[in-house]
Amino acid sequence: MIITVTLNPSIDRAVELDAPLRRGQVQRAVRTRQDPGGKGVNISRALELSGEPTLAVVPGDSNDPLLTGLDQAGVRYEAVSIGAPLRSNITVTEPDGTTTKINEPGPELDSGTVDRIIDQLISRGAGAQWLVLAGSIPPGPAPNIYAHIINRVRAGLGSAAPRIAVDTSGRPMAEAVSETADTQPDIIKPNGEELAELLGRTDGDVLEADPAAAASAAHALIERGVRAVLCTLGGNGAVLVTRDGAWHAVHQPVAVKSTVGAGDSALTGYLIAHVRGESPQNCLRQAVAHGSAAAALPGTEMPSLDHTTPQAVTVTALQLT
């Protein structure tokens, strides 16, 4: 079982255009799609499509469209009522794959709601293989919320606690990998820009373009205590750095339809391979295969294993400097 937590879920509305976006003008969409979203929700959707047991833990009331969407997708979930509608996000995709997102901030979560979510994680988490903490933080919780959840879950479950993955950015990620905090995740999934930000650097574009540089940067986090870093690099694939080595993987070129959810899908592919006992290299291979499959799908559609082509992924060992 892989449990996901999305503190700031959304209804994701995707609009596909047949021409470049023209600001200030009226355009008609050629295709639209609506899905339950947010990073953790996306991961649970992709896991469900691949037949991997998952539980999505989210805030939300029973009549919220997000929960209705999860019901329709067949995704098992547990929700904590908040008495307010969840946010909606809009994605506009142009014919060349250029993607523009407009994200709402989301409803405020008070401390009581967060405590109820954590109680659910402790109640359901024993024996789970992974707990995924993913996405932005809504108004209300402090920036160290993911570090707080990690501490509470590990203290509450002890040796029965699942491995923990974190996929966020900014202060919440920085707090989760703090050198002084006993909250180090088992894996984090930044992109190149987020990795640079996490290390106080301004060369995210360099890391996105240079897998060896990205791996070297990620290794600094391994030295802090993070067990693995999966850093996605857009069209340059991804790197995986662990205590045992570093690898770069890249997929054969695909026709990009939408980049929405590609990073979420990459983490999904890694987790699927990991729970099935694959080597780090093959976990990375499946991560890149999943991310590429997502990029080749329209809008907010998530890929299943059947969409992926891991045989089209080349994995190369990297020497850390």
104 close to 13: Cβ distance less than 8 angstroms: no
Asked whether residue 286 is domain-assigned, the answer is: yes
Mean pLDDT across the stretch 298-305?
90
In a domain, residue 24? The reply is: no
Q: How many domains does the chain have?
A: 1
Contact yes or no for 284/270 (Cβ under 8 A): yes
Tell me the per-residue pLDDT of 244-278, one tens digit each, with 9 for 90 and over: 999 999 999 999 888 889 999 999 999 999 999 99
pLDDT confidence of residue 258: 84
pLDDT on residue 43: 98
Beta strand 187-188 pairing with 99-103: unpaired
User: To which residue do tokens 């891991």 refer?
Assistant: 310
In a domain, 210, yes or no: yes
Q: Which residues contact 205 (CB under 8 A, 6 or more apart)?
A: 192, 193
Of 43-57, 60-74, 169-183, the poorest mean pLDDT is in 169-183
Reply yes or no on whether the pLDDT at 71 is more than 90.
yes
Convert the pLDDT of each residue in 204-235 to its tens digit: 999 999 999 999 999 999 999 999 999 999 99
The per-residue pLDDT for range 16-63, each reduced to its tens digit, is 999 999 999 999 999 998 999 999 999 999 999 999 999 999 999 999
pLDDT value for 8: 98
Encode pLDDT of 150-163 as tens digits.
999 999 999 999 99
* pLDDT tens for each residue of 273-290: 999 999 999 999 999 999
Q: Do residues 146 and 121 lie in contact, with contact meaning Cβ atoms separated by under 8 Å?
A: no
Q: Tell me, yes or no, whether 112 lies in a domain.
A: yes
Residue 21 lies in a domain: no
DSSP-based three-state secondary structure for 72? helix
pLDDT at 299: 78
pLDDT score for 167: 98
The whole-number pLDDT of residue 298 equals 84
Q: Virtual CA dihedral for 271, 273, 276, 280, nearest 10 degrees?
A: -100
Confidence of residue 308 (pLDDT cuts 50, 70, 90): very high
State which residues form the domain around 54. Answer: 2-15+30-318
Q: Are 163 and 150 in contact (CB under 8 A)?
A: no
Give the per-residue pLDDT at 268. 98
Residue 22 lies in a domain: no
Within 10 A of 104 (CB to CB), how many other CB atoms are there? Answer: 14
Residue type, 185: P
**Position 168 pLDDT exceeds 90:** yes
Task: Give per-residue pLDDT as tens, 79-124.
Answer: 999 999 999 999 999 998 888 999 999 999 999 999 999 999 999 9
pLDDT digits 0-9 by tens, 184-211: 999 999 999 999 999 999 999 999 999 9
Q: How confident is the model at residue 144 (pLDDT cuts 50, 70, 90)?
A: very high
Quick one: pLDDT at residue 275?
A: 98
What is the mean predicted confidence (pLDDT) over 290-315? 94
Computed on alpha carbons and rounded to an integer, the radius of gyration of the chain in Å comes to 19
Q: In this predicted structure, what is the pLDDT of residue 124? A: 94
Q: Establish if 56 belongs to a structural domain.
A: yes
Mean pLDDT estimate for the chain? 95
Both structure tokens of 79: 């929700």
Can you give the CATH number for the domain in which 168 is found? 3.40.1190.20
Tell me the DSSP string of 254-280.
Answer: ---S--TTHHHHHHHHHHHHHHTT--H
Residue 179 inside a domain? The answer is yes
pLDDT score of 183: 81
Whether residue 316 is predicted with pLDDT greater than 90 in this model: the reply is: yes
